[in-house]
Amino acid sequence: MGSNPTIRAFGAIVRRLSVNGVSSFRPTSLSPHSADSLSRLLSSSVAISSNTWWAPLYGEENGSRQVRKIWISTPVCMGRKSCKIAGRKTAQDAKKSKLYCRIGKEVVSAVKKGGPNPMSNTALAAVLEKAKELNVPKDILERNVKRASERGQEAYIEKIYEVYGFGGVSIVVEVSTDKVTRSVAAVREIVKDYGGKMADPGSVLFKFRRVRVVNIKVTDVDKDQLLNIALDAGAEDVIEPPVYEDDMEEESSDRYYKIVSSSENYSTILSKLRDEEIDFEPDNGSELLPITTIEVDDEAMDLNKELMANLLELDDVDAVYTDQK
């Protein structure tokens, strides 16, 4: 290999690219044969940059110099599609776990305020009714009623923290905690470690609206049927999932419609979906939806997803919302 001039030339170029970038390369010293071989080699090689690189091929053909256009792009695994695919199942499991945790905290707080009897404790009765609507297992409710009577267990306080992400993206973090100082310190640490910035109260929240949401897989329902159900039940909107150019047909099973509703019409929507035997995923009591969304590049998208994923891992954090598209 050491005696092959094309391979030696390729090695020299790679070393120069790693130091000075693609724009620094000018293959003026290559022979016509080496230049042609090298360009073919680079055309089939691993991508080096997200830009387009014009590689001159030295030699004359019909009195003009030949030029070959080499498309240089990042690997598929670094693109937007992989970012959407990665961790979808994990995200759904985490969402369900957060729902159960949040309802459990609400049960504890209600019992702390009014006792364990829902007949005399209207706050607890309301939480239990919501838990039934959201299909929360009965053993989780019973365990948290018992937990509320344990010595040293305090009622939970709800807090909202606002964060600036990458690429102009806004993030809202919902927290339910029995130790506010612990939760705010943990959130601040994650935001700092992953490159975000804490925002002043009110500087981000106005970009979102609070609604009830029902999530339905696109493969589980006909679009026209869903629109009719939503219209009859008084829904405010039906949001279709974003579709990207690199989506494959089989990815449709991982996309969801969102039926947006007020609290008053939410139970009616769930009842109609059950009547039609359509599978659905309820929200965790409410959700924040962005009024408008922001599209960012792949790097910012990955960084924001990493930041939000680590925030969600905190026990005190119940939900994280973003206006990232």
Summarised one tens digit per residue, pLDDT across range 275-303 is 999 988 888 778 899 999 999 999 999 99
Using CA atoms, how far apart are residues 310 and 116, in angstroms rounded to an integer?
Answer: 34
Residue 255, pLDDT score: 82
Check pLDDT > 90 for residue 186: yes
Sorted by where each begins, the domain ranges of the chain are 5-73, 81-322
Summarised one tens digit per residue, pLDDT across range 235-267 is 999 988 876 655 555 455 578 899 999 988 898
Choice among 14-28, 147-161, 233-247 with the minimum mean pLDDT: 14-28
Classify residue 284 as left (phi > 0), alpha (psi -120 to 50) or beta.
Answer: alpha
Mean per-residue pLDDT of the chain = 76
Summarised one tens digit per residue, pLDDT across range 94-126 is 677 888 888 999 999 999 988 999 999 999 998
Residue 307, pLDDT score: 96
Of 242 and 61, more confident: 242
Residue 251, pLDDT score: 52
Residues 6+ apart with CB under 8 A from 322: 165, 169, 170, 171, 172, 290, 304, 308
Check pLDDT > 60 for residue 158: yes
